[in-house]
Amino acid sequence: MWVGGAAYPLQNITRVYTFLLTPRRGEATVLFLKRVGIVLSVAFALIILNGITGFAGDEGTSQTITQLVWIGAVVSLVYCVGDFGAVLTAASHWVLAVETAGASTALVTSKNTQHLNELTLLINPRNYHFGDNVNMYGGSGNVGMAKS
């Protein structure tokens, strides 16, 4: 089976299903709040450290350091807001997931769930052999499989 430029041997495919992939807005909110807390804490700590150190005697240097700290904090916060906004405005997508026996997973996205359902119908499991059928009778002591 081909997904884009990748080939997946049919004997390695274990599951094919569709689902709605939604952005993780809750996790993004928690991460945004953590980042804002860290940026503001570092900014306040640097300003307090600036006031305690010997630069406080030199007003020009102290004001320059304070301005640089706040400029850095504002730039960091703008980045955090942009990253957070990208997750908040992201749309949900229908996904066709193809899982393999290994660690690989292929995802095909579409805005139309009907299109993905048609793709899954193209693979007919009755056309493929999925290994040996084993009927076990009895309890312990089974050591293998008898082929007929």
How sure is the predictor about 22, in pLDDT bands with cuts at 50, 70 and 90?
confident
Residues above pLDDT 70, as percent of the chain: 64
Residues 55-59, mean pLDDT to the nearest whole number: 67
Question: What average pLDDT does the structure give for the chain?
Answer: 77
pLDDT tens track for 126-141: 444 445 555 666 666 6
CA distances from 139 to 87, 128, 136, 142, 143 (A): 55, 31, 9, 8, 11
Is the pLDDT at 74 greater than 80? The verdict is: yes
β 93-100/105-110 pair status:
antiparallel
Compute the distance between CA of residue 108 and CA of residue 121 in angstroms, rounded to an integer: 15
Question: Could you tell me if 17 and 90 are in contact, meaning their C-beta atoms sit under 8 angstroms apart?
Answer: no
Instruction: Indicate the pLDDT class of residue 121, thresholds 50, 70 and 90.
Output: very low
**Confidence tier at 90 by pLDDT (50, 70, 90):** confident
User: Sorting pLDDT into bands at 50, 70 and 90, what band is 92?
Assistant: confident
Q: Looking at the whole model, is its pTM more than 0.75?
A: no
DSSP 36: H
Q: Return d(Cα 131, Cα 14) in angstroms, integer.
A: 12
Hey, which of 5-9, 39-43, 107-111 has the most confident mean pLDDT?
Answer: 39-43
